[in-house]
Structure 1
Amino acid sequence: MLKLNKIHHIAIICSDYEKSKDFYTRVLGFSITRETYRQERSSYKLDLSLHGNYSIELFSFPGPPPRVTGPEATGLRHLAFEVDDVESAIAALQEHDIQTERIRTDVLTGKRFTFFSDPDGLPLELYEKTTWNGKWINSL
């Protein structure tokens, strides 16, 4: 079996670099680790960290095709972020006029979650913090 240590990063291609850069940094709170303009590709590569952990590579390319369908298409379904309290996180998003779906409860863990979208419609999830001690610890 291949020994994997952890997920290193998630790569996202955006259609409007400045809009997505603002969204992931100012709205979601990621820190810029490095920003590189690649002249030969007419492309930016923005390395983003969350709490000191390298997490996302945000790319711009000239004329990328739009996402074909919603989250039920084959491929990456969504990117989920852990939050302490889903309602507080929703309120913070609403301050930036970002709409979320209704809050739902995961039937397996009892934790609350919701979905919203980045500027290109990439489905993002807020998932309340889960404790694991050999079994799920439910707060609801």
Structure 2
Amino acid sequence: MLKLNSLHHIAIICSDYERSKRFYTEILGLEITQEIYRKERDSYKLDLSLGGNYLIELFSFPNPPARVSRPEACGLRHLAFGVTDIEESVKQLLSLGIDVENIRIDEFTGRKFTFFSDPDDLPIELYQE
């Protein structure tokens, strides 16, 4: 068995780099750690952190193929972020014009959660901690 220490990062390929960069930084509030343009690939790589923890690599590539994400396609199901006040988080997203599903209750933990999507329809969950 491997002795893993932690989840290091999640890599996301986006279709519109500037739109996704704004979404992950201005809406979700992730901090830019590093941004690199790789000329040989015509590609950006944006390293994003949350609370000082390296979390997401956001990539752009010319003409990436679309990936089916719903309904329940095989592969990455969603990204989940913990929040303290889910109702307030939903209000903020709605005020920014982002559609959010109704808040539900996790039948096993009794905690509140909901889903919305990033600009490429990648499902994102908010889970009340």
**TM-score, normalised by the number of residues in structure 2:** 0.98
Amino acid across the alignment from 1:16: D
User: In structure 1, how many angstroms separate the alpha carbons of the residues matched to 2:81 and 2:66?
Assistant: 23
Gaps of 5+ in 2: none
User: In structure 2, how many angstroms separate the alpha carbons of the residues matched to 1:21 and 1:95?
Assistant: 19
Q: From the CA coordinates, give the structure whose radius of gyration is larger.
A: 1
Number of the residue aligned with 2:110: 110
Amino acid across the alignment from 2:26: R
- C-alpha displacement at 1:67, in angstroms? 1.7
1:14 aligns with 2:19: no
Q: Deviations over 1:42-94 (max 9, x none)?
A: 00000000010000000000001112241501111000000001111101111
Q: Find the residue that maps to 1:90 and give its secondary structure.
A: helix
Contact 2:115/2:123, CA 8 A, preserved across alignment: yes
- C-alpha displacement at 1:95, in angstroms? 1.9
Number of residue pairs matched by the alignment: 129
Number of the residue aligned with 1:58: 58
Number of the residue aligned with 1:68: 68
Amino acid across the alignment from 1:48: L
Q: Find the residue that maps to 1:7 and give its secondary structure.
A: coil
Gaps of 5+ in 1: 130-140
RMSD, aligned CA: 0.8
Number of the residue aligned with 1:34: 34
- C-alpha displacement at 1:105, in angstroms? 0.4
Contact 2:79/2:124, CA 8 A, preserved across alignment: yes
**TM-score, normalised by the number of residues in structure 1:** 0.90
Amino acid across the alignment from 1:54: Y
User: In structure 2, how many angstroms separate the alpha carbons of the residues matched to 1:13 and 1:126?
Assistant: 21
User: In structure 1, how many angstroms separate the alpha carbons of the residues matched to 2:18 and 2:69?
Assistant: 24
- Moved runs in structure 1, 4+ residues, more than 2 A? none
Q: Deviations over 1:106-139 (max 9, x none)?
A: 001000000000000000000000xxxxxxxxxx
